[in-house]
């Protein structure tokens, strides 16, 4: 059985930033959590029914509290660098649901105009850094973005770089974090420790007790927290943002979680080959969505009927965007060689 770890806060008591969230904030958070869940379910369903024939679906089921808890406290002008399991981050940071669905379906009007699919896109005007295929290099690219912002005098812009625990075992992750720490760049590394890098369990990727301990080598704060608890993710993120904006350098947040399905749609884990059934069942009980709903009900400010599962407008928005994407034209073959080189940068074909 894999070494399943529950969140630990490294002995620090987080500040209760969540107490400043209004009822309307909490309602938005609830909606965003469901948005991520329905987004995931709708794409798996489309793939299964043969409506989506290109690429793979890499889901975030079980990891929604990380997606929402790390994006909710961000400000305009902040940057994110999502990876394959963070598709809702693109939308929560300003891309439209239609744009993202066009990317998934490889359509002509998609951000990469059909040249790539899934998360291999970005929009720097919205602070969304194009995700790199080579895992771990996200951190090195993030350093480049932050260095360029520093040269432009924009020192208070924070970049949140997402990564899996498996990717923390790559070279560029360590080189990037070292550079960020030496130069005190405002980088927040969110490690989504979902216990497996495809089928490789965390203990074969990380020799320390927690991923957060890796931060010690760079002299930066490292937190190991419960990634299935929105409140804990939100509070830790707010503290990290204060640290980074104050010019004190990077922070590493290990969000301990579990992906409640296979690595992608092509990994059904049908035979439960590499994950014990009891382990899956234990994590299903920690599902972040019912957990946040229970929290809202316990505050006494919400009634059952105010918290539908899922909210109908979420389902409508996602279904509408899928139908829109399917109805849009594919790219023309002659566009395949367009936008390959940035000729303004003096690179010739
Ligand atoms: C350097 C590199 N090696 C291998 C791959 C293929 N690959 C894509 S996702 C993945 C699993 C990554 O695991 P982890 O970093 O823990 O993230 P998770 O998928 O669990 O969210 C692998 C091996 C890759 N994209 N880049």
Judged by phi (left if over 0) then psi (alpha if -120 to 50, else beta), residue 277 lies in alpha
Token pair, residue 137, equals 């290099």
**Mutation choice for ligand 1 from 86, 135, 266, CB with most ligand atoms inside 8 A:** 135
Fold of the 17-328 domain: Rossmann fold (3.40.50)
Counting from 1 in the atom list of ligand 1, the atom nearest the Cα of 133 is 25
Is the N-terminal amide bond of 310 cis, ω within 30° of 0? Answer: yes
Predicted local confidence at residue 131, as pLDDT: 87
Predicted local confidence at residue 70, as pLDDT: 98
Look at ligand 1, atom 19, and give the residue with the nearest C-alpha. Answer: 197
Counting from 1 in the atom list of ligand 1, the atom nearest the Cα of 197 is 13
Look at ligand 1, atom 8, and give the residue with the nearest C-alpha. Answer: 135
Burial of 77 (0-12, 13-18, 19+ CB in 10 A): exposed
For the chain, the structural domain boundaries read 17-328
**Mutation choice for ligand 1 from 60, 139, 140, 166, CB with most ligand atoms inside 8 A:** 166
CA–CA distance, 39 with 320 (Å, rounded to integer):
12
Q: Where are the alpha helices (DSSP H) in 111-199?
A: 137-151, 171-182
Predicted local confidence at residue 272, as pLDDT: 60
Predicted local confidence at residue 343, as pLDDT: 75
Predicted local confidence at residue 15, as pLDDT: 86
Q: Is the dihedral of CA 283, 226, 167, 86 positive or negative?
A: positive
CA of residue 201 to ligand 1 center, whole Å: 12
CA of residue 223 to ligand 1 center, whole Å: 22
Predicted local confidence at residue 341, as pLDDT: 81
**Mutation choice for ligand 1 from 5, 197, 260, CB with most ligand atoms inside 8 A:** 197
Counting from 1 in the atom list of ligand 1, the atom nearest the Cα of 263 is 19
Around ligand 1, the residues with Cβ closer than 6 Å are 84-85, 133-136, 164-167, 170, 192, 194, 196-198, 263
Predicted local confidence at residue 11, as pLDDT: 42
CA of residue 310 to ligand 1 center, whole Å: 30
CA of residue 135 to ligand 1 center, whole Å: 6
Burial of 188 (0-12, 13-18, 19+ CB in 10 A): buried
**Mutation choice for ligand 1 from 117, 198, 214, CB with most ligand atoms inside 8 A:** 198
Counting from 1 in the atom list of ligand 1, the atom nearest the Cα of 202 is 16
Counting from 1 in the atom list of ligand 1, the atom nearest the Cα of 83 is 21
CA of residue 170 to ligand 1 center, whole Å: 10
Strands 200-201 and 222-226, bridge-based pairing: unpaired
Whether residue 181 contacts residue 219, with contact meaning beta carbons closer than 8 Å, is answered with yes
Q: What is the mean pLDDT of each successive set of 10 residues along the chain, which is 349 residues long?
A: 44 77 98 98 97 95 98 97 97 98 97 92 96 93 97 94 98 98 98 96 96 98 98 98 97 97 85 82 97 97 97 98 98 92 65
């Amino acid at each position: 059985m894999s070494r399943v770890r529950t969140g630990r806060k490294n002995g620090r008591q987080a500040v209760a930033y969540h107490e400043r969230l209004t009822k309307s904030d909490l309602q938005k958070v609830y909606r965003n959590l469901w948005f991520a869940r329905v987004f995931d379910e709708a794409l798996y369903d489309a793939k299964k029914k043969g409506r989506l024939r290109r690429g793979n679906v890499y889901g975030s089921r079980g990891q929604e509290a990380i997606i929402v808890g790390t994006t909710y406290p961000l400000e305009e002008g902040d940057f994110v660098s999502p990876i394959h399991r963070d598709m809702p981050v693109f939308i929560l940071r300003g891309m439209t649901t239609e744009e993202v669905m066009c990317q998934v379906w490889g359509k002509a009007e998609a951000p990469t105009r059909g040249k790539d699919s899934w998360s291999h896109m970005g929009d720097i005007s919205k602070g969304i850094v194009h995700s790199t295929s080579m895992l771990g290099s996200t951190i090195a690219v993030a350093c480049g973005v932050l260095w360029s912002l520093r040269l432009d005098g924009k020192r208070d812009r924070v970049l949140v770089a997402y990564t899996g625990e498996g990717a923390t075992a790559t070279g560029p992750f360590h080189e990037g974090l070292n550079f960020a720490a030496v130069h005190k760049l405002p980088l927040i590394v969110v490690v989504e420790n979902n216990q497996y890098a495809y089928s490789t369990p965390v203990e074969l990727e990380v020799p320390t007790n927690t991923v957060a301990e890796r931060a010690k080598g760079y002299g930066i704060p490292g937190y190991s927290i419960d990634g299935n608890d929105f409140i804990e993710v939100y509070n830790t993120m707010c503290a990290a943002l204060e640290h980074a904006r104050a010019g004190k350098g990077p922070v590493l947040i290990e969000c301990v979680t579990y992906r409640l399905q296979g690595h992608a749609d092509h990994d059904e884990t049908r035979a439960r080959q590499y994950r014990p059934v009891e382990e899956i069942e234990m994590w299903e009980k920690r599902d972040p969505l019912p957990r946040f709903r229970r929290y809202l009900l316990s505050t006494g400010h919400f009634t059952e009927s105010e918290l539908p599962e899922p909210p109908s407008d979420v389902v409508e928005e996602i279904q509408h965007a899928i139908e829109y994407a399917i109805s849009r034209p594919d790219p023309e073959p002659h566009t395949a060689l367009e936008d390959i080189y940035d000729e303004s940068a003096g690179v010739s074909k």
